Amino acid sequence: MSQFAINLLFVGGSFLLYIGIAVWAKAGSTSDFYVAGGGVHPVTNGMAIGADWMSAASFISMAGLIAAGGYANSTFLMGWTGGYVLLAMLLAPYLRKFGKFTVPEFIGDRYYSSNARLVAVICLIVASVTYVIGQMAGAGVAFSRFLEVDSTNGLIIAAIVVFIYAVMGGMKGITYTQVAQYCVLIVAYTIPAVFISLHLTGNPIPGLGMFSTHTESGLPLLTKLNQVITDLGFNQYTADVDNKLNMVLFTLSLMIGTAGLPHVIIRFFTVPKVSDARWSGGWALVFIALLYLTAPAVASMARLNLMTTIYPEGTQAQPIEYDQRPGWIATWEETGLIKYEDKNNDGRIQLYNDKNADFAATASERGWAGNEMVVNNDILVLANPEIANLPGWVIGLIAAGGLAAALSTAAGLLLAISSAVSHDLIKGRLNPNISDKGELLAARISMAVAIVVATWLGANPPGFAAQVVALAFGIAGASLFPALMMGIFSKRVNNVGAISGMLAGLTFTLVYIFTYKGWLFIPGTNTLADTPENWVLGISPLSIGAIGAIVNFAVAFGVSKVTAEPPVEIQELVESVRYPRGAGTAHDH
């Protein structure tokens, strides 16, 4: 069977499974559509959160980022998991007790203000829409690489599948497809990693393997890796970072951003009890950690494998001849994600760090005229099975896994958007007397519109697509997270305080990002060049969400102090979310 047929079999099979689940889990009421009827088991929910959370970025890009940055990029590992500690202790149980359908609904009720609710809706939509673009684009790339259709057609196929299960089943359909998608993506991610770890270290658990002995050289794997890459002028893989302040703030921004992202928070509304919301957070992190503990091993091992492929006789000997390169390099060259240019015309591939001034002398001594091969970080996970010579079915599995990661996150985001539109805008503002049936129809229509918009944006990504992660996390961390947390932990913060805080945090964060990244991300409009010398106190625009959150807290407390206390019934509301007793399933009124 050809590789194409195998890929088609795996991807097609997984899609049929998702559609089958959608038919089985059709939503009959708004409660089904928004919170899956509120009867999801905490372990099931943990698995669904895992798929909801782990996006194309986690599955495809993260290991590549760590491989390139080594220790410095551990921030993604800690930031994208540490947020769950905040969620499980500071937000999820209380929001579950509150027992409504959406995040803006809590903000609107707690701050007794439809304007606060509107600000929350806007933050939610901007954060989720920017995030969903990346998922749709990622699904398009996976399609074009593995199924040989062009990426726009691939995107449309993906959109139709999401449409079927998300519009029909709402949260109920999404929950159970996410469980299936989690299984597909985790199997796809770990199988190649286990094989590679066994091959390099003899240890079947990748997370342990990366700290074991490299069988071939007898050295610890990371020592060997450090040796190989420093021989080629690269920084040590395990090298420490000078700018610790920025590293701390970037990690913190990712953590509070993770805790404030609405598509994750609403998944906690689907469990029956407050205690289940607490357990859910733990299970979610267990399922997420299976991938996140494996990713750093994939990163270090793939980097070592890549180097030994190019320098089969060791770094002191000649690199491989271009004509002798393995098949996977040729395949990825076709996609443009690996580029080769024979700068010194010796027919060999010199891969080294030509930006290191200290290494320039060694390079010219060896007759090298510049780095000749550029490998895009994103191919690392997708090419992993080919690099390790694994059988064709593993490649098919990776294709299905990458699509599962992109689609499950896209569906979760689309649900957050559509419920904010139908529940917070249409029912909450425009037509409060709408019937349950009418609202369910409105929710389905909003979902359909959201899918069409996301597909269009995925096919025509705006120039700022690469920056959107910073934007989504900045908004969630600097506006939503503090508002939610203060709503639970302070009885004193009032409507004016919360709205001023959200707007101040949001404005501060956006201004700082736009100053360096361009106003509204329009290239060339940035006020200052985006280089470390220009950053205030060395804080990168990607790390500013943490400071934005502090601004939000400070303004909200300051303004609340000089304005009237919240009414008694609001203080009672805060009391009631703090005590688990009396939590029914999530309901409307």
Partner 1 sequence: MSGHSYDAENYWKANLRLIFGSLIIWALVSYGAAILLRPMLAGIEVGGTDLGFWFAQQGSIITFIILIFFYAWRMNKIDEKFGVHEE
Which of 448, 455, 415, 476 minimizes the C-alpha distance to 127? 476
CA distances to 23, 455, 586 from 465, rounded to whole Å, are 34, 14, 35
In the complex, the smallest distance separating the C-beta of residue 208 from partner 1, rounded to whole angstroms, is 8
State the Cα–Cα distance between residues 252 and 547, nearest whole angstrom: 9
In the complex, the smallest distance separating the C-beta of residue 530 from partner 1, rounded to whole angstroms, is 23
Q: Where does residue 587 fall: left (phi above 0), alpha (psi -120 to 50 degrees), or beta otherwise?
A: beta
Question: Smaller CB distance to partner 1: residue 442 or 547?
Answer: 547
State the Cα–Cα distance between residues 563 and 495, nearest whole angstrom: 9
| Binding residues vs partner 1 (CB under 8 A) | 66, 71, 74, 77-78, 81-82, 84-85, 88-90, 93, 207, 210-212, 219-224, 226, 238, 240-241, 244, 247-248, 251-252, 273-275, 278-279, 281-282, 285-286, 289, 292-293, 296, 572, 575-576, 578-583
Question: Smaller CB distance to partner 1: residue 108 or 272?
Answer: 272
The answer to whether the Cα torsion of 285, 287, 288, 293 is positive or negative is: positive
In the complex, the smallest distance separating the C-beta of residue 71 from partner 1, rounded to whole angstroms, is 6
Question: Smaller CB distance to partner 1: residue 240 or 533?
Answer: 240
In the complex, the smallest distance separating the C-beta of residue 206 from partner 1, rounded to whole angstroms, is 10
State the Cα–Cα distance between residues 269 and 414, nearest whole angstrom: 16
In the complex, the smallest distance separating the C-beta of residue 270 from partner 1, rounded to whole angstroms, is 16
Question: Smaller CB distance to partner 1: residue 299 or 337?
Answer: 299
Question: Smaller CB distance to partner 1: residue 258 or 479?
Answer: 258
In the complex, the smallest distance separating the C-beta of residue 82 from partner 1, rounded to whole angstroms, is 6
In the complex, the smallest distance separating the C-beta of residue 47 from partner 1, rounded to whole angstroms, is 15
State the Cα–Cα distance between residues 259 and 520, nearest whole angstrom: 25
Residues paired with 339 in a beta bridge: 374
State the Cα–Cα distance between residues 575 and 559, nearest whole angstrom: 22
In the complex, the smallest distance separating the C-beta of residue 536 from partner 1, rounded to whole angstroms, is 20
Question: Smaller CB distance to partner 1: residue 219 or 520?
Answer: 219
Q: Residues 538, 532: contact at Cβ < 8 Å?
A: yes
In the complex, the smallest distance separating the C-beta of residue 207 from partner 1, rounded to whole angstroms, is 6
- For residue 357, the tally of other CB atoms under 10 A from its CB is 8
Q: Which two tokens stand for residue 305?
A: 């494998």
State the Cα–Cα distance between residues 306 and 309, nearest whole angstrom: 5
In the complex, the smallest distance separating the C-beta of residue 539 from partner 1, rounded to whole angstroms, is 15
Question: Smaller CB distance to partner 1: residue 432 or 582?
Answer: 582
Helix runs in 388-467, H state only: 392-419, 436-459
Question: Smaller CB distance to partner 1: residue 244 or 343?
Answer: 244
Q: Where does residue 368 fall: left (phi above 0), alpha (psi -120 to 50 degrees), or beta otherwise?
A: beta
Q: Residues 91, 488: contact at Cβ < 8 Å?
A: yes
Q: Which three-class secondary structure state does DSSP give residue 72? A: helix
State the Cα–Cα distance between residues 172 and 536, nearest whole angstrom: 46
Which stretch of DSSP H or E encloses residue 340?
strand 338-340
Question: Smaller CB distance to partner 1: residue 334 or 569?
Answer: 569
- For residue 98, the tally of other CB atoms under 10 A from its CB is 20
Question: Smaller CB distance to partner 1: residue 134 or 477?
Answer: 477
